């Protein structure tokens, strides 16, 4: 497989009133094209900082991250991002929210509207194109955010706890939905989550991070065949993987 993302000796130090705070230290990993990689770790370990560096939103202090062999030194059109909050504009319809990157990047709206409609149908939102965000449930809003991140066909999709604010049942359905979309589109995904079971259910690999300063302590390969059903989470093998990853952390760490 072709390597798409390469992270080498990546560190991030923030300046604080009390002195420098090291959020990330010596991060190394690579992601091949088409892989789904999840990142888990305790609060404050630098997961979101890592995602922001890969998105080009903040610079690294040391080391580098490359996409397709090119250093990530700022925001790029070939990177899609989905945050925990859907961040939809309330005055724009579902379709217009999806087409926002097209408008911002001054791409051909007429050409990409059929793509937007097809993606909305893929995530079960056919017939909701003219609705407004306030008319949608939380799960539906996150589907719109996911489609918006895919509309310009990015090389990689970065997802920062996109289902963290949803209730447990909706979150499970969104896990199934994301798996289905990934199997259909085969996009390269980096998925940040606090939930070890969610990471193991969705990903090909799980990067396990230490408490701050964040380091990658394990790169766990996930053996379960796809498509995965929610029942896989009840199997002894799945439980064994959850236990192994959780074992990296103190009993005080609040994982799901």
Q: What's the pLDDT at 95?
A: 96
- Rounded Cα–Cα distance for residues 221 and 199 (Å): 11
Q: Put residue 26 in one of left, alpha, beta given phi > 0 → left and psi -120 to 50 → alpha.
A: left
Residue 147 · residue 177 · CB < 8 Å? no
Q: Is the dihedral of CA 64, 67, 71, 76 positive or negative?
A: negative
Q: What's the pLDDT at 107?
A: 81
> What Å distances lie between residue 115 and 53, 119, 189, CA to CA?
29, 6, 20
> For 100-106, what is the mean pLDDT?
86
At residue 252, does pLDDT exceed 80?
no
Domains plus CATH for the chain? 1-78+164-250 (3.40.50.300), 87-153 (no CATH)
- Rounded Cα–Cα distance for residues 69 and 72 (Å): 9
> What Å distances lie between residue 231 and 197, 224, 234, 235, 256, CA to CA?
12, 12, 6, 7, 17
pLDDT in tens, 128-151: 999 999 999 999 999 999 999 999
At residue 222, does pLDDT exceed 80?
yes
Q: Is residue 254 classed as helix, strand or coil in its secondary structure? A: coil
Global pTM reads: 0.91
Q: Which residues sit opposite 15 in a β-bridge?
A: 20
> For 246-252, what is the mean pLDDT?
72
pLDDT in tens, 9-24: 999 999 988 889 999 9
Tokens 């606090």 identify what position? 194
H-run or E-run covering 21 = strand 19-32
Q: What's the pLDDT at 166?
A: 85
> What Å distances lie between residue 82 and 54, 120, 159, 209, 214, CA to CA?
13, 16, 5, 21, 22
pLDDT in tens, 161-174: 998 888 888 899 98
- Rounded Cα–Cα distance for residues 60 and 50 (Å): 9
Q: How confident is the model at residue 255 (pLDDT cuts 50, 70, 90)?
A: very low
At residue 250, does pLDDT exceed 80?
no
Q: How confident is the model at residue 58 (pLDDT cuts 50, 70, 90)?
A: very high
> For 216-226, what is the mean pLDDT?
95
């Amino acid at each position: 497989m072709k390597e798409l993302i390469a992270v080498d000796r990546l560190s991030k130090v923030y300046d604080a009133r009390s002195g420098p705070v090291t959020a990330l230290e010596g991060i190394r990993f690579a992601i091949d094209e088409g892989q789904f990689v999840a990142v888990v770790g305790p609060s404050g370990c630098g997961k979101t900082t890592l995602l922001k560096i890969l998105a080009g939103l903040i610079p690294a202090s040391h080391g580098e991250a490359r996409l397709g062999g090119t250093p990530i030194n700022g925001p790029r059109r070939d990177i899609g991002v989905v945050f925990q909050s859907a961040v939809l504009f309330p005055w724009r319809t579902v379709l217009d929210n999806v087409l926002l990157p097209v408008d911002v990047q001054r791409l051909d709206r007429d050409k990409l509207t059929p793509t937007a409609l097809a993606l909305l149908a893929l995530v079960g939102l056919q017939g909701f194109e003219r609705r407004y965000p306030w008319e949608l449930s939380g799960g539906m809003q996150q589907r719109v955010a996911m489609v918006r991140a895919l509309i310009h066909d990015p090389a990689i999709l970065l997802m920062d706890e996109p289902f963290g604010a949803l209730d447990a049942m909706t979150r499970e359905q969104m896990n199934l939905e994301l798996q289905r979309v990934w199997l259909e589109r085969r996009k390269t995904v980096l998925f940040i989550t606090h939930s070890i079971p969610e990471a193991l259910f969705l990903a090909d690999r799980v990067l396990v991070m230490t408490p701050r300063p964040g380091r990658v302590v394990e790169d766990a390969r996930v053996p379960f065949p796809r498509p995965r059903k929610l029942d896989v989470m009840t199997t002894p093998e799945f439980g064994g993987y959850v236990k192994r990853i959780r074992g990296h952390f103190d009993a005080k760490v609040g994982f799901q």
